[in-house]
Structure formats: C-alpha cells, structure tokens
Amino acid sequence: MFLEFKKEAEQVLKDALKKASNYDDIDPILDLEVSNHADITSRIAFSLANRYKKPPTAIAEEIVTQIAIDMTHPTDTLIADVVAAGPYINFYTNEFFLHKTLQWIKAGMEITTTTPNKNREKVILEHTSANPDGPLHIGHLRNAIIGDVLVRVLTRAGYDVETQYYLNDMGRQIAVVVWGADRIAYDEAKKADHAVADVYIAANKLIEGNSEFLNDVEELMRRYEAGDAEIVQKYEVAVKKCLEGIQATFRLLNIPRVVFVWESEFVRSGAVREVIEELKQKGQIELDGSAVLLQLDGIEKRLVIQRSDGTSLYTTRDLAYHRWKSKNCNRVIDVLGKDHELVAQQLAKALELLDVKPPEFVIFAFVSLPSGSLSTRTGRYITADELIEKIEERAYNEVDKRRGDLTESKKREIARKVGIGALRYDIAKVSPDKHIVFDLDDALDIEKKGAPFIQYSHARACSILRAAEPQGYAVSTDYGYDYESDDSLLTERSEIELIKKLSMFSYIVEGISSDLKIHRLGKYARELAESFNLFYKDCPVLNAEADLRRVRIALVDCARIALRDVLALLGIEAPEEM
C-alpha cells in the first residue's frame, strides 16, 4: 500500500511544480525517499536551488503552498499532510491509508507493479550450478540461498519464474568421477553425493602425475562429447547419482522445483557450433595456430571460442545455453560467484555480438573458512548437509530448553524450521558483495536476532489468535475505521508504526524484483518483527475493551499474515508455536 501512497505523493508534487510556474520547465526528478522524519520526503528543493539560485528552504515553502489535496471525502486521498521542513518537503499518511493497508493485507497483499505489463513476464533464473562431483558446500549454499530468495521474490512480484541449474557434465571433474567409478566402488551406505565425492577425491589422487590415467580421462571426455553411447550411459549414472544427493539437500533447504539443464545438450544439438560460426562472422577474430580467439570490446583478455583440436569450451557452450535461455523468456538472471565475473563480462559482450540481450548478473563474494578457501578436490570444505544437521541439533537444544512440555516430534519439527531458518537468514541478510569468513560456531549461535526472532513474533501472533478463539472472539475484517468521520480506533503509536511497516511489504518486494538485492528483505523482516513486538508489549489485545479488542485482533491477524509471507519469501517456515 505504501507504493500507492508514494505514487500519489509523486502526482501531487508534479501538479504543484506545474502550478508554481517558475519551475515548470524542468523534468521532475522528484527525489522522493523514505525518511525518519516523515512517511516520505522529497529533496527536490535542493536541486531546484542549484538551478534557480534561490535558497532551498524558500523553494520548498513555495512548492508546499501550491499543493492542494482534495479532501472533500476523506477516502479520496492517502495523504494527511504535506509540510515544508526547512528544505525538505514531508508527506504524511492519513487514517484512511492505515485502513486500506489492513484491507489490502487481508485480501492477499497483491503487488501492484509500477511498470505496466510486467505481470506474468517469464524469468529464467540460474543458481547454484555446482559441478556434480560431490555434495554442496557452504559456498554453493550462498549461491543457492540468494538464488532461491530471488525466485520467491520475483514470483511474488508477479513474474513467472523458472529455476535452472546448469549442469556442467562435460568438464574434466566429471570425467574423473566416471573414470574412478570403474575402479572404486561407491559407498552405498553414504548419501549419494558424498559417495561420489569420495570417488572423485580418491580418483584424483590416483591420476595425479600418472600420464596414462590422464590419457584415459581425456579419452573419456572425447568420447562423451562425440556421443559414444556406452560412455554417455556411464556419465548419466554418475551424474544422476550425484544429483540425487544434491536434490535431497535442496529439499532440506526448502528449495523446490529446480530444472537441471545438461551442458552437453547444447553440443549435441549443434547449438554450440552455430554460435561459433556466427561469432566468426560477426566478431573480431584472431587465430592462434588453429585455435580461434575473439577480441571483445573493452575486455583486454581475448576469449577462446574454439580449441586447436576443434573441440568446444565451457564459455562457448555457456553462450549457446544463454542464447537459448534468452529466446525462452523476458529476463535472464544468473547468480554467480565472484570467480565468474570476468567470464560473465565476456559472456555479456559476446551475446551482444549475437544480438542477444545479456543476462542480469547477481555476483556474490566468496565464502571461505578461517583455515582458507574451499576446495572439493582436496576435500577441504564443510558440506551443506553437515551444517544443516549441526544447526538443527543446536536448534533442538534451544527448543527443548524452553518447551519441555511439547512432544518429541513437535520439538523436532520446530527445531527443523528454526535451524534452517537461522541458516538461510544468516546468509540472506548479508550484502552479496561482502566476503564471508564462515565460522561454524558463529553460524550455530542462533540466540542472535535473526530468523528465530522473526519466527517468534509470528508464533506470538498465532498464540494470541489461538487464545482468542475459545473465548469466542472471531477474527473480523473490521479495522475500526469510520468512513464518515475519518477516525480510527487504532491510535497507539505502536499500532500505527506497525501498520506503516506492514504497508512497506509491496514496496520492498517491488524494489528487490528490480535491484535484486535480497539482503534488503532480511532487514525488512527484522524491522517488521520489531514493530510487532513493540505493539505486543504496548497494546493488550484480549483484555482490551470490546471494540478495541475486535480491531486489535484484526491487526494481529494482518501482522501474522505479513510475517508469515515475508518469512516465506526468505524460504523460512513460520511455526505457529515455538
């Protein structure tokens, strides 16, 4: 609902600028921002001051006098007041805005987009895309969580999102696994992806420095690219085994519906060859022996698009993949580690040559351990599975400490929600360009004001509604607003602050769907929980006088919905008690 308020403020300001004839020539950059001092504020007076050589305070004053809001009916506007505070023009919401916000929440919080026709546009979002040579580790976890939160936010904003996991099945790593699987048995007692990692690590040790084995591996790669049926079959067994484990981890993390796209498909379909031929015609080509290099605008590093032996490379295959993605949707989004940044730039430039709109990249900095960087090959990593198990155990201890009264299965269920929630929140709340040194003890310390804090607020809201029912207090949609007098029964500061915070939901979702900065969602979720906790402390609900009780119960219900939904966007489950 805040978006609607902002839109109205924009319109009012534009009209005022038109009326203040001195300023009507400018293209209005309204400079409207959320502020501590008002519900929304405009700093436009500063830029006008520069242009017209007048003090900004005078300009702000002048503009405000031109503002006219028709208030013949209180429900014609969401604005209560506009005042000049020095150089700032401050806008304040009215009672009707609060009322509309609650109605809107109860009706499902539809996100009205600012740009038309965006609804149901198709997005293909690629995340994780880890090599299928072992389990996901905490580096992949960051990728997966950022990606999954984006998928949830974009879906909520009205996009039709497909999540893809690009499967690098043509790399050397997989050939090593396939080679190893012929000599070393999988440990069937282990989770599939962990068993694959064992084989991968052991095979690497055997191959290291042994040129005969190295040749074997290269032979495998050649035959796979050529589509040798026997080899393809072996590859499929190994890759699918690993994938089975990775998907199990995704399920634990609440990451649903991921479509696996096999890299090799683009080679066998001829798409890679087409890309290479087209680049040879359209691009600035250099030859190094029989290898083909492409010089890209603004990038010093030349991109090799074809090897001396004529076989394809990862980047060219990726180009074919991206061209295909682009043909099948309106927005292509890739979540990538920082190590792929140069490749991403080359990819974007090469796609431009092919007249394909480049993807939007979300690039995140590395996760390392206090002992150094992660490596699947050397076995130096903490797996996502291990982390999930430990954090759930820690969460169980916390639940057990507080709720000894619950049944074992109930405690386990809450521990699972709290544990995964804490993990996801910890990663989602940090800006992707911050390097993370992962400290296991720190991650397991779920006393902090993270996901459990937000979940707890939700549980409290549920608890009130649970207690209301047996007393015969139904949840109504009466928010205590009087259309005649424009009065509201919700007048406490904490009530109003809570409703205003609730109204920001769509603003945040809409914002993230364009700037893709998911850490803003974590901040909003925490602020929402804080607002609810303040309301909870200040305003008795069930013991309030009957009319007030009715509208406060309705407010609690709205808060419950918003907390549940914001947690859902973070991929965190909202327990009804904890």
CB of 161 to RNA, least distance (A): 22
Measure the CA–CA gap between 488 and 483, rounded to whole angstroms.
9
Q: Which residues contact 407 (CB under 8 A, 6 or more apart)?
A: none
In this complex, which beta carbon is closest to RNA, that of residue 429 or of residue 501? 429
CB of 20 to RNA, least distance (A): 18
In this complex, which beta carbon is closest to RNA, that of residue 100 or of residue 271? 271
CB of 287 to RNA, least distance (A): 8
Q: In this structure, are residues 384 and 136 in contact, taking their beta carbons and an 8 Å threshold?
A: yes
| Cβ burial, residue 551 (10 Å; 0-12/13-18/19+) | buried
In this complex, which beta carbon is closest to RNA, that of residue 100 or of residue 201? 201
Angle between helices 192-207 and 229-252 (to 10 degrees): 130
In this complex, which beta carbon is closest to RNA, that of residue 121 or of residue 497? 497
- Alpha-carbon distances, residue 503 vs 5, 157, 456, 479, 487 (angstroms): 10, 15, 21, 15, 19
Per DSSP, the three-state class of 162 is strand
CB of 188 to RNA, least distance (A): 27
Q: Which residues contact 86 (CB under 8 A, 6 or more apart)?
A: 56, 57, 60
CB of 541 to RNA, least distance (A): 3
Q: What is the dihedral of CA 364, 370, 373, 379, to 10 degrees?
A: -120
Q: What is the dihedral of CA 232, 234, 237, 243, to 10 degrees?
A: -70
In this complex, which beta carbon is closest to RNA, that of residue 77 or of residue 131? 131
Q: Which two three-digit tokens encode residue 514?
A: 């364009």
CB of 262 to RNA, least distance (A): 11
- DSSP3 helix / strand / coil % (the chain, rounded to 5): 55, 15, 30
In this complex, which beta carbon is closest to RNA, that of residue 37 or of residue 257? 37
CB of 484 to RNA, least distance (A): 30
In this complex, which beta carbon is closest to RNA, that of residue 104 or of residue 535? 535
